[in-house]
Structures are given as C-alpha cells and as structure tokens.
C-alpha cells in the first residue's frame, strides 16, 4: 500500500475527514472484496497524482461498521469525496482512473 494513503478507523475518521478543511477521497472497502482489491493500484496512482491537493484514505467497513453505517455505505467499494468535511459525491463500484480523477477535479474546483 502506498505511503500516500491514510488508513482510517472509527476513532480517527472525524479528525481526519469531517473536521478537516482538506478535501479527501475515502475508499470504503473490505479485505474479502475482490473489486476493492482491483482499485488499489488506481488509488495509489491518485494518491501520487494528487499529493498535497487531496487526502486519499481507506476505511475497512468490517472493522469500522459505525462509520460505514453513518455514511449509508451499502455496497463496496464505495469512494466518497469530501470537501470541508462534507460529502460532495460518491462512486459505487470499480471505476476507471479517469472517472475518479474527473470527480476529484470537480470537487477541488467547486
């Protein structure tokens, strides 16, 4: 896993995402989820490409169910983009890097 990806827990989520002025993309995932594993290389590239512009983070839904429930994550992988601590958009399922980058760009501009 890339050093540019932050690993969140229920205990750290609000501090790192909700109470942060930074924009962030959070990958809600589980270790048994094959599609979740498919997007890891994409997220590593995103973390490198957007270093210093957006936080890239992961939250294991099996170990952090309260946070997953709070954000109504029903399917994984789910990528949620946050700006100023508020959800701006989400992507459910595997998406190509270009689509993820486009949504990040929209959030950063908006």
Catalytic residues: 33, 36
Alpha-carbon span 18 to 12, nearest angstrom? 10
């Amino acid at each position: 896993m890339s050093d540019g990806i932050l690993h969140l827990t229920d205990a750290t989520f609000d501090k790192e995402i909700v109470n942060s002025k930074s924009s962030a993309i959070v990958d809600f995932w589980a270790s048994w989820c094959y599609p979740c594993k498919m997007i890891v290389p994409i997220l590593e590239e995103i973390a490198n490409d957007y270093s210093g512009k957006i936080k890239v983070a992961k939250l294991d839904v099996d170990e952090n169910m309260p946070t997953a429930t709070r954000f109504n994550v029903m399917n994984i992988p789910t990528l949620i983009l946050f700006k100023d601590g508020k959800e701006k958009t989400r992507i459910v399922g595997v998406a190509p890097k270009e689509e993820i980058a486009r949504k990040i760009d929209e959030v950063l501009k908006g």
